Structure 1
Amino acid sequence: MKLYKYLIVFLAVIATSCDDDYFDVNGSETKPTTSSLPPQFRIQGAIENTTAQAQYRGSREVLGITQYGAQNATNYYSETWSSSLTTGRYFLWQNAYVYSLPNTADLIVLGERYASPNFVAVGKILRAYVLGMTTDQYGDIVLDETYDGVSSMNITPKFSTQEEVYETILSYLDEAIVALDEPSAIDLNEEGGDVLYGGDHEKWKKFAYAIKARYLNHLAKKSSYDADAVIAACQLAINSNELNAQKLYGGGPVSNDIQPFSTDGYGSSRMDYFSDFFVNLLKNPLNLDDAEWDPRLTIIVPEAVNGGYEGVVIGRGLNGEDGDNFSLGNGGFYTSLNSATDMITFSEVKFIEAEARLRKGDKSGAYTAFKIGVQADFEKLGVDAAATSAYLSLLDTEIGESNIELSHIMVQKYIANVLNPETWVDMRRMDYSSDIYHGLQRPENVNLDIFPNENDWIQAMMYEYNEEDRNYVNMPTNDPYVRLTTPLWWNTAD
């Protein structure tokens, strides 16, 4: 691949070698940096910075909350919600505003400049995706006054409310869907840069509808929640595993061509082992008296050196135990060198539909969507047909459409969305309920100063400390006792 043609916008390469360096986009040159190159040379960089930078960082910093992976060290700050977690260092904020959002802004500007609304559409879809991840971790964020590829940068931008951000996300998606049907001077895959969908407009539209369904469904606690609108978006969204929105990796040799959570990946240190919670959930996902191992367990989780499948308790680390007794975090379906990063998949779309149908009282429709979602995940992971059929039959025996509950949907969605930051949204929407996610507990050694009660769970991330230093006048409170414990807008009832 001729990487020099795409600029990948050099930030991706720099980021992989200097993962924790903060490139202060708001405090650097204030003039726009949009290049004169046409948009076909920028689309790959926009896609890859969305996944390899923003989504990766959004996943990595919440692993101690979503509890997919665990550290080998005891009392690691991100697992116990303490130390530099409370001072706002090197989180999604940096990667979204420095790497990802500028690329999407440039793609929109270049698409307009070169009479190619299909590139404008892709820029808006990716921008909606990144803004969604960012607001879902912080709440109020910078929106209208961030880098736009045209205006001089404002180093003290105002913040927009999360409600305003959600309105913008949905507008971007609707506008993009329309723009994808407009004639364009340049094909999306003119230079092979569309590494997501190869220039297929219909696939991009299904991706946009899938994101729309996701964000409409986040509003389940709001009076504006419309289950029918969620279901309608799902019907137009990704409808097969072949259309899954995934960033593919080749497995090397350069660092930006390997899965970040694999061995030697720049996020591998956060995935020392799979967690005790996740491994136990896979051992008994249906919460049966007689545990039935999920066939996906051995595909996702490597066997421990000393045999068996055991996870490390979040916050405890190895605590003097032999690491060979536990399942390494690197090397499974999601954490091998060539593992893909899922943005949104067919299975997630069906679980979103199942939840929406259940909320409107359509148990039959909910169960049907639920089963399709489970089957889609099994097929994505390559589970053999006999094991898949047996598991689906078990669902009929143990659940059935008359007994489908929210817990069944959310547990399967949790398993299907490994390492996706969307899981943190779901866990907060479900109020971290152990009735929903059976076996879920707070980490050991959790920060009792901020989270003194057993029902206290982290609700949002601290804003980046650079933003606080530079833009404290406009930034909402960054007091950890408030920020970390206050539910976001979509998580409060009207």
Structure 2
Amino acid sequence: MKRALLLLSIFGFIAVGCDGGLLVENQNPNATTDPSLSGLLSSSILTTSSDVVPGAAGTTSYYVQHLASPSGSSLDQHFESRFGGTWSSIYDVLADTDALVEKAETENSPHYAGIARVIQAYNVGIATDLWGDIPYEEALQGQEGEITPAYDEQQALYSRIRSLLDAAIQDLNAESSKFNPGSDDFVHGGDLEKWKRTAWALKARYLNHLTKKSSYDPQAVLNAVDNAMQGNEDDAQMNYENDPAENPWHNVFQDQEGGILGGHLSEQLVKEMDGTLHGVFDPRLQVAITDSANIEGEGENPPKYAGNRNGEGAGQFYNHLEGDKFYATQNAPILWITYAEVKFIEAEAAFRADNPSRAYDAYMEGIRANMDKVGVPESQRDAYMNDPAVDVGQGNLTLDLIFKEKNVAMFLNPEAWVDHRRHNYDYPDFEPPVDQNPDLNTEHIRRALYPLSEIERNRSNVPEVSLDGFLWWDQS
């Protein structure tokens, strides 16, 4: 197999470095050089769920002010942002899925190839939405030992994502496959229909990212939505019930309890959900995310919450992720893309297509789906959805309302940073952090810098970028 990105160490090779990036191969004499379809599939899903998604969200959640640093860290203040560990994990997955496609085609098993292409498209999407241009074609197809692959432009990568998803759907529709996934598929348990819906959902997501481009086609987005998830049961996610590891956000909670502070809520998120900014208390704050700090005494109704001002550090009172709530329980799922997200994509695309009835129905269904997902009791769900601040009627629906509700549904998901940039951070009272990196000149952060290891090893190809530089899809 020819590739510059090498298989994970458990399969015989490893790409190493303290900050991620590509390096020469190191062969483990005790590991197989011919990994199985099942091993490659399980590995790519586990790395995506345990490393890529939480690794990216562990930083982007500060940029969208879902979380805030308890110490007013440089991360929270938008100083150098490179995502080195996430870069390394993504390329591990790209190597695994590339090998999986090759092996599946050799063994006449298109159903495995289809899932591999969906996973690869998902990881390429996360990577390009963080860094813009990234090595891809030469990185996966280069000669053995190649460690200086050229960078593909983001526009070409978006075309490649669509091609991968189209090929995946074709593979998943194949009438026969010598081998078929089952328990090795930690996302859908071998359910090919759900993988096809996931592929269509991702098509809708990446088509909808192009709202600032003249090529944006809301009808194409809606066509993809029609083939995507039909309910929460279709959500693409990895559960941790049968895994010895714990949900990564539960580990953050455990560290917090042990005195290593983290997972603090942002003051901005609290204001968006406790009624301060929108005049209605969002029960997801209490049910799915955190406990009340009771900062104004006992018996508050609704209870009082407190978040950290981004960049400032923790005050006397604050809320943080709780280990018995939806997002941070020991066995909580890591969400890749969900039915609720698809409904908000539909709401936005229908709104832009001047179809207010469809937009409003999708907006309300997105709220309902997310509240059901995270366990909001029916009475609290209905009270929130019937509140005039939420149930505004189709004639009063705005993009601001769609983005506001989608933001809550995308809590701890790196996709939330894409939405904040597409919406130009136009959320009520949303301000840059205290003591923000002066290089940004009080502007909002727009992209990540490249990992130092990549600069050291592939300097001639690494683009020169700045944190206030706009990605391709972020420009008109």
TM-score normalized with structure 1 length: 0.86
The residue aligned with 2:55 is 57
The residue aligned with 1:92 is 86
The residue aligned with 1:350 is 343
The residue aligned with 1:28 is 25
User: In structure 1, how many angstroms separate the alpha carbons of the residues matched to 2:164 and 2:395?
Assistant: 38
Can you list the C-alpha shifts for 1:227-250, whole angstroms capped at 9, x where unaligned?
Answer: 000001011001110111111123
Residue 393 of structure 1 deviates from its aligned partner by 1.9
The answer to whether the 8 A contact 1:206-1:238 is kept is: yes
User: In structure 1, how many angstroms separate the alpha carbons of the residues matched to 2:380 and 2:421?
Assistant: 32
Same amino acid, percent of matched pairs: 31
The answer to whether the 8 A contact 2:18-2:453 is kept is: no
Residue 203 of structure 1 deviates from its aligned partner by 0.5
User: In structure 2, how many angstroms separate the alpha carbons of the residues matched to 1:96 and 1:38?
Assistant: 20
Residue 271 of structure 1 deviates from its aligned partner by 3.6
The answer to whether the 8 A contact 1:241-1:345 is kept is: yes
User: In structure 2, how many angstroms separate the alpha carbons of the residues matched to 1:379 and 1:265?
Assistant: 23
**Which of 448, 453, 468 is the equivalent residue of 1:466?**
453
The residue aligned with 2:398 is 405
**Which of 435, 441, 444 is the equivalent residue of 2:431?**
441
Cα gap change, 1:157 to 1:371, in 2 (>3 Å): same
The residue aligned with 2:311 is 315
The answer to whether the 8 A contact 1:245-1:343 is kept is: yes
The answer to whether the 8 A contact 1:348-1:373 is kept is: yes
The residue aligned with 2:247 is 259
Can you list the C-alpha shifts for 1:62-93, whole angstroms capped at 9, x where unaligned?
Answer: 2220211122112x0111011x43xx362532
The residue aligned with 1:181 is 173
The residue aligned with 2:201 is 210
The residue aligned with 2:440 is 451
TM-score normalized with structure 2 length: 0.89
User: In structure 1, how many angstroms separate the alpha carbons of the residues matched to 2:113 and 2:289?
Assistant: 40
Question: Is 1:292 matched up with 2:287?
Answer: no
User: In structure 1, how many angstroms separate the alpha carbons of the residues matched to 2:293 and 2:367?
Assistant: 30
Between the two proteins, the alignment pairs up a number of residues equal to 453
Can you list the C-alpha shifts for 1:255-296, whole angstroms capped at 9, x where unaligned?
Answer: xx21112235799768431111111111128x44xx321111
The answer to whether the 8 A contact 2:252-2:263 is kept is: no
The residue aligned with 2:214 is 223
Cα gap change, 1:362 to 1:391, in 2 (>3 Å): same
RMSD (Å) for aligned C-alpha atoms = 2.6
Q: Alignment partner of 1:146: what SS? A: helix
The residue aligned with 1:419 is 412
Question: Is 1:155 matched up with 2:143?
Answer: no
The answer to whether the 8 A contact 2:19-2:88 is kept is: yes
Question: Is 1:170 matched up with 2:159?
Answer: no
User: In structure 2, how many angstroms separate the alpha carbons of the residues matched to 1:233 and 1:447?
Assistant: 40
User: In structure 1, how many angstroms separate the alpha carbons of the residues matched to 2:211 and 2:67?
Assistant: 28
Q: 1:39-58 to 2 correspondence within 5 Å?
A: 39-58=37-56
Cα gap change, 1:384 to 1:365, in 2 (>3 Å): same
Residue 125 of structure 1 deviates from its aligned partner by 0.4
Residue 465 of structure 1 deviates from its aligned partner by 0.8
Cα gap change, 1:304 to 1:390, in 2 (>3 Å): closer
Cα gap change, 1:158 to 1:8, in 2 (>3 Å): closer
Cα gap change, 1:381 to 1:102, in 2 (>3 Å): same
The residue aligned with 2:227 is 236
User: In structure 2, how many angstroms separate the alpha carbons of the residues matched to 1:273 and 1:396?
Assistant: 27
The residue aligned with 1:385 is 378
The answer to whether the 8 A contact 2:280-2:387 is kept is: no
User: In structure 2, how many angstroms separate the alpha carbons of the residues matched to 1:267 and 1:339?
Assistant: 17
Question: Is 1:484 matched up with 2:463?
Answer: no
User: In structure 1, how many angstroms separate the alpha carbons of the residues matched to 2:249 and 2:263?
Assistant: 9
The residue aligned with 2:298 is none
Cα gap change, 1:272 to 1:116, in 2 (>3 Å): same
The residue aligned with 2:77 is 80
The answer to whether the 8 A contact 1:135-1:162 is kept is: yes
User: In structure 2, how many angstroms separate the alpha carbons of the residues matched to 1:212 and 1:369?
Assistant: 18
User: In structure 1, how many angstroms separate the alpha carbons of the residues matched to 2:206 and 2:254?
Assistant: 29
The answer to whether the 8 A contact 1:63-1:270 is kept is: no
Q: Alignment partner of 1:311: what SS? A: coil
Residue 457 of structure 1 deviates from its aligned partner by 1.1
Structure 2 residue runs of 5 or longer lacking an equivalent are 1-6, 296-303
Q: Alignment partner of 1:263: what SS? A: helix
User: In structure 2, how many angstroms separate the alpha carbons of the residues matched to 1:266 and 1:173?
Assistant: 38
Per mean C-alpha deviation after superposition, the further-off stretch among 44-53 and 208-217 is 44-53
Cα gap change, 1:393 to 1:488, in 2 (>3 Å): same
Q: Alignment partner of 1:273: what SS? A: coil
Q: Alignment partner of 1:121: what SS? A: helix
The answer to whether the 8 A contact 2:326-2:375 is kept is: no
